[in-house]
Amino acid sequence: MPKKIFSLIILMLSGSVAIAETDTTGLDCMIEPYMTAELSSPVSGILQEVLVDRGDRIKKGQVVARLNSEVEQAQVDLTRARAELMSDIKATEARHDLKERMEKRLGELLKKNMVAFSEHDEAQTEEIVAHYQFMNAKEEKHIAQLEHQRAEKILKQRSIVSPLTGVVVKRLKAPGEYVEETPLLKVAQIDPLNVEIIAPISMYGKITRGMQVYVLPEQPLGGKFLAKVVIIDSVVDAASATFGVRLELPNPEHKILPGLRCSIEFSDTH
């Protein structure tokens, strides 16, 4: 129990209505991960492999598990082949070029009255049809490219990616299991860390955002680490006459372990 809260209890039991001066040292705190997440798959399927285990460090964007994706990979290969086909475009382009040259030649002959108007009109119509066939071939290729992109995105959903940089806390599934909405892994971001404090109401207003505070973890870690106040609760707990404060504690080398109890000491420079 924090020293200040203990002192308040003694004062209340003694019938005194005065509030003693707050002791700003020795407040208890708890070191916690900055963020935790339970990773699940956006699609159902058989889990093919889990690439990490409990205690492993992971990076944001890293693939940590995969579902069986043979069918999806085959679809990607098929749509890629269709998207890369150029034969229809080249054939329709060549036909269009031919019809365009024929229409121009007949147009010149028509000016000299060497061909009938109907013959030139037919050639002109064929050139227009060939043009739209060429346009259609290009549109079909574009659609094939979009289908390939869609197939790649479906395949990508078979890989589970970490949304944060941190460590694996727990592994919940093994290869071969059927996966639906249940989590596969639990991960935690531990740089920075959150430090949660329950402070007595007498300290309200004395703690401000941005204030520098020393965090003293319990043994065997020990030491003194500088943190910053980032959150001050705006609602007081009436039953205990306390309010919550959160500190942000840098932990770039992962030396400080979340889950440790600690105490705080205010910096002389705050």
Q: What confidence tens digit (pLDDT) does each residue in 17-32 have?
A: 333 333 445 689 999 9
48 vs 71: CA distance, rounded Å = 13
Mean pLDDT of the chain: 87
- The helix or strand, by DSSP H or E, that contains position 94, with its residue range, turns out to be helix 87-111
In three-state secondary structure terms, 223 is coil
Beta-carbon neighbour count of residue 247 at 10 Å?
A: 27
- What's residue 248's pLDDT? 97
Over residues 75-88, the mean pLDDT reads: 91
Closest CA to 133 of 100, 101, 91, 82: 91
Query: Which CATH superfamily is 3-67+167-266 part of?
Result: Efflux pump adaptor protein, beta barrel domain (2.40.30.170)
The verdict on whether omega for the bond into residue 192 sits within 30 degrees of 0, i.e. cis, is yes
pLDDT tens digits for 194-220?
Answer: 999 999 999 999 999 999 999 999 988
Question: What's residue 14's pLDDT?
Answer: 39
pLDDT in tens, 43-61: 999 999 999 999 999 999 9
Q: Amino acid letter at 23?
A: D
> In whole angstroms, what is the distance from residue 254 CA to residue 256 CA?
6
Given a contact cutoff of 8 angstroms between Cβ atoms, the answer to whether 27 and 2 are in contact is yes
Residue 222 CB-density burial (10 A; 0-12 exposed, 13-18 middle, 19+ buried): exposed
In whole angstroms, give the CA distance from residue 221 to residue 223: 7
Q: Whole-model pTM?
A: 0.71
| Residue pLDDT, tens place only, 101-152 | 988 988 888 888 888 888 888 988 999 999 999 999 999 999 999 999 999 9
- Chain segment 210-256, per-residue pLDDT in tens: 999 999 999 888 899 999 999 999 999 999 999 999 999 999 999 99
Quick one: pLDDT at residue 111? 87
**Quick one: average pLDDT of 68-94?**
92
